[in-house]
A and B are shown apart, each in its own frame.
Chain A
Amino acid sequence: MDIEFIRENIPFYVEAAFLTARLALIGILLSAGIGFVCCIIRELRIPVLRQITAVYIELSRNTPLLVQLFFLYFGLPRIGIVLSSEACAIIGLAFLGGSYMAEAFRSGLEAVPQIQTEAGMSLGMKRMQIFFHIILPQAVATSVPVFCANVIFLIKETSVFSAVALTDLVFVAKDLIGISYRTDEALLMLVAAYLLLLLPVSVLCSFIERRVRYAEFGNTGIVSGN
């Protein structure tokens, strides 16, 4: 194990890690936004947009990110739309992540019992008011575990960004292996980089999940049919 080699090349990995983190952050935020919008559209049952959203979710969940990126980066320029590597990466990640986030928020919404809506209605509240003040806060709390899982998933997905010529961690590792044949060192640093990136996130997510579970939302009343 050539320590000197490792020391020399750490800066490249660090730079790549920052790039990955930055793109992942933007992609995740956009995904959350898209997912939220999709959910609202579905809840409000807006006519045309609802079908478009459904189609989008199916397309995005059933195709790999790599193929989406290739299409964006190599395919679109052929019809005149040229996007930078970074733009492609962010759009691809957001496109993919949006549907996963939409699922997370949907499961959160479905976990709120219908009778909570009825309780709000019986107090004279309007649908909008009920949604924003009663349903949404509860749905967010339930969505947290799936949301966290999605964050980890999306950060892992960024590993394909090298395919669209971005100097991310995988690119750096592959490059080093090709140039110097120091496979072990290059791979070790690659693994270490992802560990450093993802372990804190994973721990943070577990912590958040435990806090939300402790808050223990939910009614304890037993409802008998009548």
Chain B
Amino acid sequence: MFSVFEGGSGIREKVEGLELKQKNILQVEHLQKSYDNHLMVLKDISFSMEKGEVVVIVGPSGCGKSTFLRCINLLEPINGGQILLEGNDIRKNPKEAHVIRQKIGMVFQSYELFPHMTILENVVLAPCMVQKRNKGEVILEAEALLERVGLLEKKEAYPRQLSGGQKQRVAIVRSLIMHPELLLLDEITAALDPEMVREVLQVVLELARDGMTMLIVTHEMEFARAVADRVIFMDGGRIVEESSPEEFFGYPKSDRAKQFLNTFHYEALV
């Protein structure tokens, strides 16, 4: 009787595990990455995200946050572990990498708009070429999105005529119009002048409110506190702490987290 019961619970765990995997939009298991000179930059990262969740990754420079992001959308090769998007191993078919990338959007710190195209052309290029959508419909959606971020009037301008904050908002729109399942934001305000940081983060907050699943790497602690459902603290290629924003910013558990948060805190000189 004992063994049947055990077997029963074993099967139930397996079924629950499967369901869990499918509910998780992203599942990373024991991810390892090292560079050619045997420098291990990611050491055994395990992590999962649900649909609609906003996870913020913070940590000191060089801890591997950006590299982690780049592994998820297949911009970097990995040396061990698994990455599952909606239950499917993203590395299963290397030739289908571009299909996976349609589902995962990325916004870069340096915006990376295409300088030889207008703003509208920048946004409309991928949906038409990659997803083969109808151009008229795409243009309508592009204009609607540009309007939402307040840049419709710039649709015929070239990137060089826009400010950093404007370019970054366009970059976000460019990724959004692909209807990704998951959006990766890699320190998107790090290269911006302080006045422009807010206009960009405002857009991200709205996206979070609308239910976009996002994985954000940032140094903006106030913003992280406001937008995150969960905060992950990385250091030396490992996840050191994982908790809710209130817990992390209010009562950090590990010493390294405490040290890290202190670097943003200035004591007034008496």
Interface membership of B8, Cβ < 8 A: no
List of B residues within 8 angstroms of A216 by Cβ: 160
List of A residues within 8 angstroms of B164 by Cβ: 220-221
Contact check, A138 vs B108: say whether CB atoms are below 8 A apart: no
Contact check, A116 vs B112: say whether CB atoms are below 8 A apart: yes
Contact check, A124 vs B114: say whether CB atoms are below 8 A apart: no
Among B63-116, those with CB < 8 Å from A are: 65-67, 73-75, 97-99, 101-102, 104-106, 108-116
Among candidates B101, B111, B113, B159, residue contacting A122 with C-beta atoms closer than 8 Å: B101
Say what secondary structure dominates the interface of chain A: loop
Interface membership of B254, Cβ < 8 A: no
In the complex, what's the smallest C-beta–C-beta distance from A212 to chain B, in angstroms? 11
With CB as the reference atom, state the residue of chain B lying closest to A129: B129
Q: Measured between alpha carbons, how far is A72 from B167 in the docked complex, in Å?
A: 55
Among B93-147, those with CB < 8 Å from A are: 97-99, 101-102, 104-106, 108-116, 125-126, 129-131
Contact check, B62 vs A226: say whether CB atoms are below 8 A apart: yes
The bracket for how many chain A residues form the interface is 20 to 34
Among candidates A115, A124, A217, A224, residue contacting B108 with C-beta atoms closer than 8 Å: A115
Q: Measured between alpha carbons, how far is A218 from B112 in the docked complex, in Å?
A: 9
Among candidates A133, A219, A220, A226, residue contacting B65 with C-beta atoms closer than 8 Å: A226
How many pairs of A and B residues are in contact by the CB < 8 Å rule? 99
List of A residues within 8 angstroms of B259 by Cβ: none
Q: Measured between alpha carbons, how far is A221 from B196 in the docked complex, in Å?
A: 13
Q: Measured between alpha carbons, how far is A117 from B47 in the docked complex, in Å?
A: 28
14 contacts between A and B (CB under 8 A): A115-B112, A123-B101, A123-B105, A123-B178, A124-B98, A124-B99, A134-B114, A216-B160, A218-B115, A219-B111, A219-B115, A221-B108, A224-B109, A226-B65
Q: List the interface of chain A (C-beta within 8 A of B).
A: 115-116, 118-119, 121-126, 129, 133-134, 137-138, 141, 216-226
Given contacts A123-B102, A133-B129, A220-B160, 6 further A-B contacts (CB under 8 A): A121-B75, A122-B105, A124-B98, A129-B130, A225-B61, A226-B67
